[in-house]
């Protein structure tokens, strides 16, 4: 049986979207079944429309499936992503996590492989704290955090052993570079490899 991978993330203006799409490509390349699901937007309309790029992203995502708790239940590997908001995950991402109580109560969040990805304006703007916020919740799930560490030489290039992170720039217009793309591929393939070995 192929490994089931759920990529669950929030993106307001596209950085996490690009990261999630790369993870999807890398995971699918291993033969895994993949569900890429963005977290439902819950911000007030006026807030969304106050930023053109945010409103455009919401419109572009209108027909894409949103994440449901059932997607986590389905998966063997869960890749969780949120932009940094003041060093933490977004409220939209947290709102999704807060819907997982029933699955948690049934023990259905446990024993899966989890890894995180994030993006912030600046490299020291809270990427590691955001990833640790994600992993703190995974600890409550009884999940298995498969952080990338420095398990491949390419991790010395992107430099984040906690997960994968991207500095998206002041106008959120810095594209993913080769080192981030390689780190995203590594995050996905390593999580799938560990899940495959656990299943065996």
Ligand X SMILES: Cc1cc2nc3c(=O)[nH]c(=O)nc-3n(C[C@H](O)[C@H](O)[C@H](O)COP(=O)(O)O)c2cc1C
Please report whether residue 86 would count as binding ligand X according to CB under 6 A. Answer: yes
39 binds ligand X (CB under 6 A): no
Q: How many residues bind ligand X (CB under 6 A)?
A: 19
Compute the distance between CA of residue 180 and CA of residue 177 in angstroms, rounded to an integer.
5
Q: How far is the CB of 55 from ligand X (least distance, A)?
A: 13
Print the SS3 string covering the chain.
CCCEEEEEECCCCCHHHHHHHHHHHHHHHCCCEEEEEECCCCCCHHHHHCCHHHHHHHHHCCCCCECCHHHHHHCCEEEEEEECECCECCHHHHHHHHHHHHHHHCCCCCCCEEEEEEEECCCCCCHHHHHHHHHHHHHHHCCEECCCCCCCCCHHHHCCCCCEEEECCCCCCCCCCHHHHHHHHHHHHHHHHHHHHHHC
**Token pair 């495959």 in the structure block, residue:** 196
Stretch that binds ligand X, among 27-35, 62-70, 71-79, 83-91 (CB under 6 A): 83-91
**Residue of 25, 125, 161, 194 interacting with ligand X (CB under 6 A):** 125
Query: At a CB cut-off of 8 Å and minimum separation 6, what does 84 contact?
Result: 118, 119, 120, 121, 125, 126, 127, 129, 130
The answer to whether residue 189 forms part of the interface with ligand X (CB under 6 A) is no
The span of 13-21, 31-39, 104-112, 184-192 binding ligand X (CB under 6 A) equals 13-21
27 contributes a contact to ligand X by CB under 6 A? no
Residues 164-183 as x/- pattern, contact with ligand X by CB under 6 A: ----x---x-----------
In the bound complex, what is the minimum distance in angstroms from residue 92's beta carbon to ligand X?
10
Q: Which is nearer to ligand X, 6 or 192 (CB)?
A: 6
Minimum distance of ligand X from residue 112's CB (angstroms): 24
Is there binding between residue 94 and ligand X (CB under 6 A)?
no
Q: Return the residue of 6, 7, 15, 72 that touches ligand X, per CB under 6 A.
A: 15
Q: Show the tokens assigned to 8.
A: 């669950």
Q: Which is nearer to ligand X, 116 or 143 (CB)?
A: 116
Q: 6 or 18, CB closer to ligand X?
A: 18
**Positions in the binding site for ligand X (CB under 6 A):** 11-16, 83-87, 119-122, 125-126, 168, 172
């Amino acid at each position: 049986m192929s490994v089931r991978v759920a990529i669950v993330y929030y993106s307001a203006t596209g950085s996490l979207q690009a990261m999630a799409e790369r993870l999807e490509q890398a995971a699918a390349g291993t033969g895994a079944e993949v569900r890429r699901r963005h977290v439902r937007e819950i911000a007030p309309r006026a807030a969304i429309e106050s930023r053109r790029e945010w409103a455009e992203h919401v419109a572009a995502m209108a027909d894409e499936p949103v994440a449901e708790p059932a997607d986590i239940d389905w998966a063997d590997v869960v890749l969780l992503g949120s932009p940094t908001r003041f060093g933490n995950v977004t409220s939209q991402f947290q709102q999704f996590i807060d819907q997982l109580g029933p699955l948690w109560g049934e023990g259905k969040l446990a024993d899966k492989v989890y890894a995180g990805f994030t993006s912030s304006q600046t490299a020291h703007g809270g990427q590691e704290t955001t990833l640790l916020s994600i992993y703190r919740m995974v600890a409550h799930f009884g999940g298995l955090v498969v952080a990338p560490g420095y398990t491949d030489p390419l991790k010395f290039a992107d430099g984040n052993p906690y997960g994968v992170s991207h500095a998206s720039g002041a106008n959120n217009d810095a594209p993913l570079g080769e080192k981030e793309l390689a780190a995203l591929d590594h995050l996905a393939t390593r999580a799938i490899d560990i899940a495959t070995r656990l299943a065996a």
